[in-house]
């Protein structure tokens, strides 16, 4: 039995704090990076990552490992939490009150390039946030977690062909929207 499975069993059977700490430590940087790529905000990413792990620990009793790996299950929790956050009133309020927060990507990178890149990422994320849950989940896992289509299919419990079709359809619509497509295409983004 590998360490991960051992920790999960200890948490499920005895609520073992050390095992929980080890399991969280094993995945923390991956989940934080996944969240940060989608929020571009350190504090928010830390908060959401903490919420994801709290949710994971609260529901780990239901994890059996038969349908998917622990990693897949954890990323599904993270994806669902991000979808919930972007649909929340809190997010909508923050978008209207926050100023653009500038972070240096590297000391060598030009300030203007950093701002442009950040604005482009924020625009793409804003459009992803407007999508229905299913296409949002697919895009988040593909673009921000670097999941394969097979991994996404397993995570969402749908056929791989459905994932591919929805991904490519959504990406085409997203590209048209970002390049000034018609209003009908923008409305179709939500479905």
Contact 24, 90 (CB under 8 A): no
Q: How confident is the model at residue 65 (pLDDT cuts 50, 70, 90)?
A: confident
- 164-173 pLDDT, tens digit per residue, is 999 999 999 9
Q: Residue 90's domain spans which residues? A: 3-188
The rounded Cα 173 to chain-centroid distance in angstroms is: 20
Q: How confident is the model at residue 102 (pLDDT cuts 50, 70, 90)?
A: very low
If you average pLDDT over residues 47-65, what whole number do you get? 94
| Three-state DSSP class for residue 188 | helix
Q: Which of 94, 96, 74 is nearest to 155 (CA)?
A: 74
Q: Give the CA distances from residue 157 to residues 37, 46, 59, 181, in Å, rounded to whole numbers and listed in that order.
A: 24, 28, 18, 32
User: What is the per-residue pLDDT for 112?
Assistant: 56
Average pLDDT of the chain to the nearest whole number: 82
Considering its fold, how many domains does the chain have in total? 1
Residues 6+ away with beta carbon under 8 Å from 2: none
The CATH number that applies at residue 63 is: 1.10.1740.10
User: What is the per-residue pLDDT for 24?
Assistant: 96
Q: How confident is the model at residue 96 (pLDDT cuts 50, 70, 90)?
A: very low
Residue 45: Cβ within 10 Å count: 19
- 127-165 pLDDT, tens digit per residue, is 888 899 999 999 999 988 989 999 999 999 999 999 999
If you average pLDDT over residues 79-108, what whole number do you get? 61
Its sign, for the CA torsion 16, 84, 40, 160, is positive
If you average pLDDT over residues 85-111, what whole number do you get? 53
């Amino acid at each position: 039995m590998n360490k991960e499975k051992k920790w999960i069993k200890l948490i499920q059977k005895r609520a073992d704090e050390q095992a929980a700490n080890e399991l969280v430590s094993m995945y923390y940087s991956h989940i934080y990076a996944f969240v940060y790529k989608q929020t571009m905000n350190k504090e928010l990413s830390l908060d959401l990552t903490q919420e994801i792990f709290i949710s994971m620990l609260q529901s780990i009793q239901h994890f059996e490992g038969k349908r998917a790996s622990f990693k897949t299950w954890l990323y599904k929790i993270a994806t669902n939490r991000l979808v919930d956050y972007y649909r929340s009133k809190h997010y909508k309020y923050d978008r209207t009150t926050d100023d653009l927060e500038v972070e240096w990507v590297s000391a060598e990178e030009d300030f203007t390039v950093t701002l442009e890149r950040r604005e482009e990422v924020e625009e793409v994320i804003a459009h992803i946030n407007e999508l229905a849950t299913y296409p949002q989940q697919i895009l988040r896992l593909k673009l921000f977690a670097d999941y394969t289509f097979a991994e996404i299919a397993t995570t969402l419990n749908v056929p791989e062909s459905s994932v591919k079709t929805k991904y490519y359809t959504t990406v085409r619509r997203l590209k048209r929207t970002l390049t000034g497509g018609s209003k009908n295409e923008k409305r179709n983004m939500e479905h």
